[in-house]
Amino acid sequence: MAPRRIGILTGGGDVPGLNSVIKSVVYNATEIGCEVIGIRRGWEGLTHMKRPEDLLSGTGRYDSEYIRPLDRVNTRTIDRTGGTMLHTSRTNPSKMRRDRLPAHIDPARFASMETSDGVYDLTPLVLENIEFLGLDHLVTIGGDDTLSYSSVLDRAGVAVIAIPKTMDNDVPGTEYCIGFSTAITRAKEAINRQRTTLGSHERIGVFRIFGRDAGFSALYTAYVTSARCVIPEYRFDLDRLLDCWSKTSARTRRATRS
């Protein structure tokens, strides 16, 4: 019997830990006799990859621009750096704009895939490419947009294993996302570097912590730095917030004098 074949891709923003996940998938898969195919540039790899009839003669079975076989040798050291060795993009095959369509495919082919003016759903093409690659399972590592398309393929019958990745920690149905811990650590370090300057000038620092739809990153950063937090889910009273800060500053000045 032919060995089972696993495809893996990363989509959306890059975070530390992606290469570690890729390596873990490769090492564990090869231990049980599976092959692993790396798909470069996220979902773009499954929409823009070329098949043998689209490639120049002598270039091999797979499009090297988008498809890369993975093994224990070429992934052995990838966990020593951040980012993703498979590269990434913010491609969503179900919402592909006309100017982003694969140039090597006859435009007439996409007529039946147009869902609205200038927007196309390339899911039929993705399913064809998955079948061509002979993938038994597809591992997708990404945030809300990447994983929302994973659910489209799941409904189409593809065996998908989704791994949540986002610094915002806001993927529904999971408690922890790859990249969240690093985001909190880096925010904490940045705030702590400012403490001496703020203290020297007797000032208050206001730090804006990025978060897509939720305030988890701001809330957890405030927790680990003993700061006060205003999160986007709740309206706040600015006068009350300023009064709280002024009282804290007054207590700090009294403690310093004593």
Q: Is 168 a known active-site residue? A: yes
| Contacts for 32 with CB less than 8 Å, ≥ 6 apart | none
Rg (CA), the chain: 24
> At a CB cut-off of 8 Å and minimum separation 6, what does 66 contact?
39, 40, 41, 44, 45, 48, 49, 50
Q: Is the dihedral angle over the CA atoms 20, 23, 27, 33 positive or is it negative?
A: positive
Catalytic hit among 79, 168, 170, 213:
168
Contact 29, 23 (CB under 8 A): no
Up-side HSE of residue 248: CA atoms within 13 Å toward CB?
14
Distance separating alpha carbons of residues 9 and 41, to the nearest angstrom:
7
Cα–Cα distance list, 112 to 75, 121, 125, 247 (Å): 40, 9, 11, 65
What kind and span of H or E run contains 244?
A: helix 238-257
Q: What are the φ and ψ backbone dihedral angles of 67, each rounded to 5 degrees?
A: -120, 130
Which H or E run includes 69? strand 67-70
Report CA dihedral (189, 143, 177, 168) to the nearest 10 degrees.
40
Q: What's the DSSP call for residue 208? A: P
Counting every residue, how long is the chain? 258
Active site positions, annotated: 168
